Amino acid sequence: MPYLWVAAAALLSACQLPTDTSTAPAAPTNLRIIAGSPPTLEWDAVSGAESYNIYRSSEWDAWPPLNDKATVETQFPLEEDGYYTVTAANAGGESVKAGPPVLEGAPAAPRYVRIDRVGAQHYLRWNAVLGATSYAIYRDASCVPSPFPPAPAFATAAGTEYLIAAPGFCYWVAAIAVGGESEIGIEDVAHY
* Domain extents in the chain: 23-104, 114-191
Tens digits of residue pLDDT in 177-192: 877 888 886 667 777 7
Exposure on the CB side of residue 5, measured as CA atoms within 13 A = 2
Question: Is there a shared CATH topology between the 23-104 domain and the 114-191 domain?
Answer: yes
pLDDT in tens, 109-130: 888 889 999 999 999 998 888 7
Instruction: Quote the CATH superfamily of domain 23-104.
Output: Immunoglobulins (2.60.40.10)
pTM score over 0.75 = no
| φ/ψ (deg, to 5) at 14 | -80, -20
Q: CATH homologous superfamily for 114-191?
A: Immunoglobulins (2.60.40.10)
State residue 167 phi and psi, 5-degree precision.
-80, 175
What tens digit of pLDDT does each residue of 32-86 get? 888 776 788 899 999 999 999 988 877 767 777 777 787 888 888 776 767 788 9
Residue 147 burial (10 A CB sphere; 0-12, 13-18, 19+): exposed
Q: Rounded to an integer, what distance in angstroms lies between the CA atom of residue 124 and that of residue 115?
A: 5
Torsion of CA 57, 63, 67, 71, to 10 degrees: 70
